[in-house]
């Protein structure tokens, strides 16, 4: 599933291609994604100019000049490509957002993503209104994390992936940040100290920033807006490395499952 770095990589790729441009329509080949696409999307978008392309958690927000916003979620397998509008569509190319001779094409083999038209204040949309702070913003730090962990018996990794606590810290990057901070993913969150929360918040920020700079991870068919894959998977410390020696101490990386998600850790470096 594309996580925050993949979504931010996509945002950075499409923003300069869309900002200031006016949509000339839309083509819906498959309107049934996770939620049905507004059948009047083409009419709503035609003539509307893109004010900016933002991101909230794993949602792309294409903000229009009339105050409306197009919310795009890539789901498990979605991607956006900027292409000539006459490029023949392939099987899973479900939506084209037209920009004259070019288009922004949405591809989603599993159809778990979403394209939603929000006519009012986007921050009040049901998908966004209860989200926690952004991990790369000044609203999130070790003190915020420490307060959120108090009294919780859930594993710290599960808490990190709770979008009410902090948004966008998905499975891969939670594993990597916990390793960098020296905290075992199975530790009850309430037992993580203030100092460890400070290290962990800093590790989350550093891990996500490094992943963004690497263009995210290539997860199955993830590519950015011009078709370039991400490369952060070449730098994984623990994710997917069960049975292999830890880069830091040579102890074999262990694997367990938390909340139906695979978790990886070094039993020597993480306590």
pLDDT digits (tens, 9 = 90+) for 77-122: 899 999 999 999 999 999 999 999 999 999 999 999 999 999 999 9
Phi, psi of 215 (to 5 degrees): 80, 20
- Residue 116's SS3 state is strand
Distance CA 46, CA 2 (A): 29
Out of 95, 124, 153, a domain closes at 124
Residues β-bridged to residue 219: none
- Are 155 and 233 in a shared domain? yes
- Are 246 and 165 in a shared domain? yes
- Are 82 and 163 in a shared domain? no
Domain-located, residue 213:
yes
Domain with 43 in it: 4-124
Active-site amino acid positions? 2-3, 58, 261
pLDDT digits (tens, 9 = 90+) for 138-184: 999 999 999 999 999 999 999 999 999 999 999 999 999 999 999 99
pLDDT digits (tens, 9 = 90+) for 19-56: 999 999 999 999 999 999 999 999 999 999 999 999 99
pTM of the model: 0.88
Q: What band does 216 get if pLDDT is binned at 50, 70 and 90?
A: low
- Are 176 and 209 in a shared domain? yes
- Are 168 and 233 in a shared domain? yes
Range scoring the smallest mean pLDDT among 37-41, 217-221, 247-251:
217-221
User: What do you get for the CA distance between the two ends of the chain, in Å?
Assistant: 28
- Are 66 and 162 in a shared domain? no
Q: Domain count for the chain, please give it.
A: 2
Domain-located, residue 19:
yes
Residue 221: CATH number of its domain = 1.10.8.50
- Are 28 and 83 in a shared domain? yes
Residue 69: CATH number of its domain = 3.20.190.10
Determine if residue 110 is labeled as part of a ligand binding site.
yes
- Are 151 and 246 in a shared domain? yes
DSSP state of 253: P
Domain-located, residue 136:
no
Determine if residue 152 is labeled as part of a ligand binding site.
yes
Tokens coding 13: 């790729």
Distance CA 143, CA 243 (A): 35
- Are 112 and 32 in a shared domain? yes
- Are 194 and 247 in a shared domain? yes
Determine if residue 92 is labeled as part of a ligand binding site.
yes
Cβ-proximal residues to 49 (8 Å cutoff; 6+ apart), any chain: 20, 21, 22, 23, 64, 65
Out of 124, 155, 184, a domain closes at 124
Out of 124, 150, 172, a domain closes at 124
- Are 57 and 92 in a shared domain? yes
């Amino acid at each position: 599933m594309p996580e925050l770095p993949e979504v931010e990589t996509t945002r950075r790729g499409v923003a300069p291609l869309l900002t200031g441009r006016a949509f000339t329509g839309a083509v819906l080949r498959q309107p049934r994604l996770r939620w049905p696409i507004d059948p009047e999307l083409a009419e709503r978008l035609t003539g509307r100019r893109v004010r900016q392309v933002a991101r909230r958690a794993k949602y792309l927000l294409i903000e229009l000049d009339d105050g409306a916003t197009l919310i795009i979620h890539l789901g498990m397998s979605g991607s956006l490509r900027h292409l000539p509008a006459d490029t023949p569509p392939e099987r899973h190319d479900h939506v084209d957002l037209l920009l004259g001779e070019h288009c922004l094409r949405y591809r989603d083999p599993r159809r778990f993503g979403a394209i939603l038209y929000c006519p009012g204040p986007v921050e009040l949309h049901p998908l966004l209104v209860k989200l926690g702070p952004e991990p790369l913003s000044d609203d999130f730090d070790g003190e915020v994390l420490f307060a959120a962990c108090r009294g919780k018996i859930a594993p710290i990794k599960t808490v990190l992936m709770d979008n009410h606590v902090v948004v966008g810290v998905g499975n891969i990057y939670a594993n990597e940040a916990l390793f960098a901070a020296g905290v075992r993913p199975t530790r009850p969150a309430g037992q993580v100290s203030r100092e460890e929360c400070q290290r962990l918040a800093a590790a989350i920020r550093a891990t996500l920033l490094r992943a963004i700079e690497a263009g995210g991870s290539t997860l199955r068919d993830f590519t950015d807006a011009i078709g370039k894959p991400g490369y952060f998977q070449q730098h994984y410390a623990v994710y997917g490395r069960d049975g292999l020696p830890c880069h830091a101490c040579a102890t074999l990386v262990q694997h367990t499952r938390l909340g139906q998600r695979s978790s990886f850790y070094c039993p020597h470096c993480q306590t």
